Amino acid sequence: MSSQNFIQTNFDLCTGCNICQLACSMTKEGGFNPNAARLEILRERENLYNQPVVCNHCRNPYCANVCPTGAIARDKRGSVVIDRDTCIGCGLCVDYCPLGMCRLMTYDKKEKAIKCDLCGGNPECVKSCPTGALVLVQRIKEERA
């Protein structure tokens, strides 16, 4: 058996404070910009509740399946990650991600896909969440004989 980490969300604990987005954007882009974060907070029913949305690191990731260059693949920890050097910025991953967690950002005047990579197994968003709305968990995967 092997395991794969992913972030579980608990919308009933989310206050919509955006600290997770700020921590993510600071870690990944070097500045506090929620638009550059690899997760979203959806505000529902006139802000009655907040729904954190993060990449599920799917078992059968559509983003990786449609990537024409193979830039999206699993790393050694089982996280679905994007190799920025291989990405051509075509946007197919953006179109096919059912959660909308792949995005295009401009780096050196070229668009590249970005998404959550679980910060190498220690996600800043989870560490910074003051209410426990984001939790890192392990999905156990059984190996077929």
Tell me, yes or no, whether 141 lies in a domain.
no
Residue 75 belongs to domain spanning = 57-115
Mean pLDDT, residues 58-70 taken together: 96
* Domain identity same for 41 and 67: no
* Domain identity same for 66 and 49: no
- Angle, alpha carbons 124-106-75 (nearest 5°): 45
The overall pTM is greater than 0.85: yes
Q: How far apart are CA 87 and CA 120, in angstroms?
A: 19
Which pLDDT belongs to residue 143? 57
Cβ atoms of residues 27 and 10 within 8 Å: no
Tell me, yes or no, whether 145 lies in a domain.
no
* Domain identity same for 82 and 39: no
Tell me, yes or no, whether 144 lies in a domain.
no
Question: What spatial distance separates the first Cα and last Cα of the chain, rounded to whole Å?
Answer: 11
Residue type for 14, please? C
Could you tell me the sign of the dihedral formed by the alpha carbons of 52, 53, 55, 59, in that order?
Answer: positive
* Domain identity same for 16 and 48: yes
The CATH number covering residue 69 comes to 3.30.70.20
Tell me, yes or no, whether 74 lies in a domain.
yes
Listed residue (6, 18, 15, 10) closest to 116, CA to CA: 6
**From 76-80, 87-91, 110-114, 124-128, the region with the lowest mean pLDDT:** 76-80
DSSP H/E element including 38: none
Does the pLDDT value for residue 84 go beyond 90? yes
Tell me, yes or no, whether 143 lies in a domain.
no
* Domain identity same for 107 and 130: no
* Domain identity same for 88 and 132: no
Each residue's pLDDT tens digit, 14-55: 999 999 999 999 999 999 999 999 999 999 877 688 999 999
Tell me, yes or no, whether 111 lies in a domain.
yes
Mean pLDDT, residues 87-92 taken together: 98
HSE of 143, CA atoms in CB hemisphere, 13 A: 4
Share of the chain above pLDDT 70, in %: 93
Each residue's pLDDT tens digit, 96-141: 999 999 999 999 899 999 999 999 999 999 999 999 999 999 877 6
Which pLDDT belongs to residue 144? 57
* Domain identity same for 68 and 42: no
Q: How far apart are CA 18 and CA 40, in angstroms?
A: 9
Cβ atoms of residues 4 and 141 within 8 Å: yes
Cβ atoms of residues 38 and 116 within 8 Å: yes
* Domain identity same for 63 and 111: yes
Q: How far apart are CA 136 and CA 127, in angstroms?
A: 9
* Domain identity same for 40 and 1: yes
Tell me, yes or no, whether 142 lies in a domain.
no
Q: How many folded domains does the chain comprise?
A: 2
Does the pLDDT value for residue 71 go beyond 90? yes
How would residue 1 be classed by pLDDT, with cut points 50, 70 and 90? very low
* Domain identity same for 77 and 124: no
HSE of 43, CA atoms in CB hemisphere, 13 A: 7
